[in-house]
Amino acid sequence: MAKDISTRAEDYSQWYNDLVYKAGLADTSAVRGCMVIKPHGYALWENMRDVLDKMFKDTGHVNAYFPLFVPKSLFEAEEKNAEGFAKECAIVTHYRLKADPNRPGKLMADPEAKLEEELIVRPTSEAIIWNTYRDWIQSYRDLPILINQWANVVRWEMRTRPFLRTAEFLWQEGHTAHASKADAMKEALQMHDVYTQFAEEYMAMPVIKGAKSENERFAGADDTFTIEAMMQDGKALQAGTSHYLGQNFAKAFNVKFLNTENKEEYVYATSWGVSTRLIGALVMTHSDDDGLILPPKLAPIQVVIIPIPKPSEAIDLIAEKMMTELKSKGIKVIYDRDEKNRPGFKFAEYELKGVPVRIGIGARDIENGVVEIARRDTKEKSSIKIENTVEHTIQLLDDIQNNLFKRAKELRERNTHIVDDWDSFVKILEETPGFIYAHWDGTSETEKAIKEKTKATIRCIPLDAPEENGKCILTGNPSNRRVLFAKAY
RNA sequence: CGGGGCGUAGCGCAGUCCGGUUAGCGCACCUGCUUUGGGAGCAGGGGGUCGAGAGUUCGAAUCCCUCCGCCCCGACCA
């Protein structure tokens, strides 16, 4: 076990917190509920962002940027959305500070500088964006609009956890406008697929694709599509959502277009987003009691070369040649010739940080014409001939990526249950948390009752679930397909 | 916002009940020497308005009051 990190078995959530801080992903900050994303954590985000950004561009989207503040009157316009977020909004009421006459050296909001209209710090940008789209759209020829923005948003959460739920977080939000329901629905489903592909291919995190029930749906959406991942403690984590917004925002902001028949029609909309929460998902999907385990495709450092016991001319020569070759193959590699720390310390440190592959080079190895290559996911070590190192490393990175996905999928399958009676349902949720496929009668009341009794929610109505007649797990009313229940983050 | 806990060096803590040397320990940090194939050892050294304010007292980290902050558990949530 790594120094000063709780084990998963002892205390899963403490393990997560320890890892985030000890591995240098984030730090606490002076602002309640907000964290500092440290370089190692931010590098992960940059890698995620770069891959996603390319996927968005490849599907025809462009980036733009809209204001941080939303005038209250705009925010109110789409009622359901406003209601959904009202309880967690930060509000700007003043635009100036002044010296506090009662407390020397202190400042106060200047009562003379009260804003005529209060500004909401965006919890999401539909309002400000649709207010803008109104001016951009006259005819079907202006559609579709396919815009994404990379931004920060603020949701004043009562309880926060690093990456998983913070008051301010980074994300991307796509906001598209279409001339037909079919086009908008196609867009929402396409982005749902993009997120799925990203989660599985890059994060090595298997997900269940599905639609949200009415209770869990984004406020203001007609349909919300989600990808749900299982963390190592069996709890579900919503990793990305894509919304079909229908004409709700178009109606609220009066965004109409002339269709090909010269008739006015409200525009159809989607929005979709993933956030820095994905970093939390990555940590909880793969890591172990020794530290982070990062999938090679997103790891800020993929390979570290460590001289044993310390740099020498002979080691430098081999290491530098190896680095050049690996870099030429697009591998992110560093050579740690820092003499402050001994090899053992470095081994532990890079394991903590999740570097997928470690190459150790010592005098003994050089005599034998080999290096020692260790993989982070299984901690296996092997001696590889120096001339085969580059080829072996590239293959190994690929193996690790695949193994992580396989391992995560096996964990999910081990902890997924098909349940038909209430007693087993309750028992499983209490004793062996995981995913449960069960019948549900389709009503909000039943969903709420189940949540109250067990704390489990409907994570999604899986898109690929086969039609199957059955009886609701709680009420016994008829149901024609199973839905996915779990306790969630 | 309710219930509980905690603020003492960068981090983790002891000391607080029962007031009394110069506030201490581990890790980290700095210097030097010896080490070096899985988190090195020894020696020396630096670092504190004891969360803030006000009070009781000859004397307060310790007792009283007020305030602030953080963490955990609930309700809410990506």
Q: In Å, how far from its chain's centre is CA A163? A: 9
How far apart are alpha carbons A304 and A327 in whole angstroms? 12
Residue A1 has pLDDT above 60, yes or no: no
Lowest-confidence range among A199-203, A207-211, A238-242, A450-454?
Answer: A450-454
Q: Which two structure tokens, joined as six digits, stand for A58?
A: 């490849």
Give the model's confidence band at A34: pLDDT under 50 very low, under 70 low, under 90 confident, else very high.
Answer: confident
Give the nucleotide nearest to A153 (CA→C1').
B78
The CATH number of the structural domain formed by A417-486 is 3.30.110.30
Cα distance between residue A418 and residue A447, in whole Å:
18
Task: Identify which has the larger pLDDT, A105 or A386.
Answer: A386
pLDDT score of A6: 82
Judge residue A452's burial from the number of C-beta atoms within 10 Å of its C-beta, 0-12 exposed, 13-18 middle, 19 or more buried: exposed
Straight-line distance from CA A296 to C1' B59, in Å?
63
In whole angstroms, B37 C1' to A341 CA is 14
Q: What are residue A226's phi and psi, to 5 degrees?
A: -135, 155
**pLDDT per residue as tens digits for the range A144-181:** 999 999 999 999 887 888 899 888 899 999 999 999 99
* C-alpha neighbours within 13 Å on the C-beta side of residue A125: 26
Please report, rounded to whole angstroms, the spatial distance between the CA atom of protein residue A4 and the C1' atom of nucleotide B31. 28
The single-letter DSSP state of residue A157 is -
Q: What is the pLDDT of residue A103?
A: 66
Cβ-based neighbour number of residue A264 at 10 Å? 8
Of A89 and A176, the one with more pLDDT: A176
* DSSP class per residue in A361-393: EEHHHHHHTEEEEEETTT--EEEEEGGGHHHHH
Q: What is the pLDDT averaged over residues A17-25?
A: 89
Across A52-68, average pLDDT: 98
In angstroms, the CA of A309 and the C1' of B53 are apart by: 55
Q: Give the CATH architecture of domain A12-90+121-286.
A: 2-Layer Sandwich (3.30)
Taking the CA of residue A12 and the C1' sugar atom of nucleotide B14, their distance in angstroms comes to: 28
Mean pLDDT for all residues in chain A: 93
pLDDT tens-digit readout, A225-257: 999 999 999 999 999 999 999 999 999 999 999
Q: What is the pLDDT of residue A457?
A: 92
Closest nucleotide to A156, Cα to C1': B77
Amino acid (one-letter) located at A235: K
Partnered with residue A439 across adjacent β-strands are A482
What share of chain A in percent tops pLDDT 70? 99
Q: A15 pLDDT band (50/70/90 cuts)? A: confident
Strand B nucleotides within a 7 Å radius of protein CB atoms: 1, 35-40, 69-78
* Whether pLDDT at A469 is above 80: yes
Q: How many CA within 13 A on the CB side of residue A92?
A: 17
- Nucleotide closest in space to A457 (CA vs C1'): B77
Q: Please give the pLDDT value at position A309.
A: 93
A124 closest-nt by C1' vs CA: B78
Confidence class for position A293, pLDDT limits 50, 70, 90: very high
* Residue A46, pLDDT above cutoff 90: yes
CA dist list (Å): A257 to A74, A144, A249, A262: 20, 11, 14, 9
CA of A100 to C1' of B53 (A): 18
Mapping DSSP to helix (H, G, I), strand (E, B) and coil, where does residue A173 land? strand
Per residue in A329-342, pLDDT (tens digit) is 999 999 999 988 99
- Which nucleotide does the CA of A84 lie closest to, via C1'? B77
User: Is there a contact between A461 and A450 (Cβ–Cβ < 8 Å)?
Assistant: no
Length of chain A: 489
Of the pLDDT bands very low, low, confident and very high (cuts 50, 70, 90), residue A2 is low
Instruction: Work out the angle between the directed axes of helices A422-431 and A444-454 (0-180°, nearest 10).
Output: 50
ipTM above 0.95, yes or no: no
pLDDT(A10) > 70: yes
Instruction: Confirm whether A303-396 and A417-486 share one CATH topology.
Output: no
Whole-number distance in Å between A159 CA and B71 C1': 11
Least trusted range by pLDDT, from A181-190, A203-212, A464-473? A464-473
Domain ranges, ordered by start, for chain A? 12-90+121-286, 303-396, 417-486
Average pLDDT over residues A338-353: 93
Q: Answer whether residue A189 shows pLDDT above 80.
A: yes
| pLDDT level of residue A470 (50, 70, 90 thresholds) | very high
Q: Which nucleotide is nearest to A218 (CA to C1')?
A: B78
pLDDT band with cut points at 50, 70 and 90 for residue A320? very high
A42 CA to B23 C1' distance (Å): 40
For chain A, the 3-state helix, strand and coil shares in percent, each to the nearest 5, are 35, 30, 35
CATH superfamily of A303-396: Anticodon-binding domain (3.40.50.800)
Residue A377 pLDDT more than 70?
yes
CA A443, chain centre distance (Å): 29
User: Which DSSP string corresponds to A221-253?
Assistant: -SEEEEEEEE-TTS-EEEEEEEEEEETHHHHHT
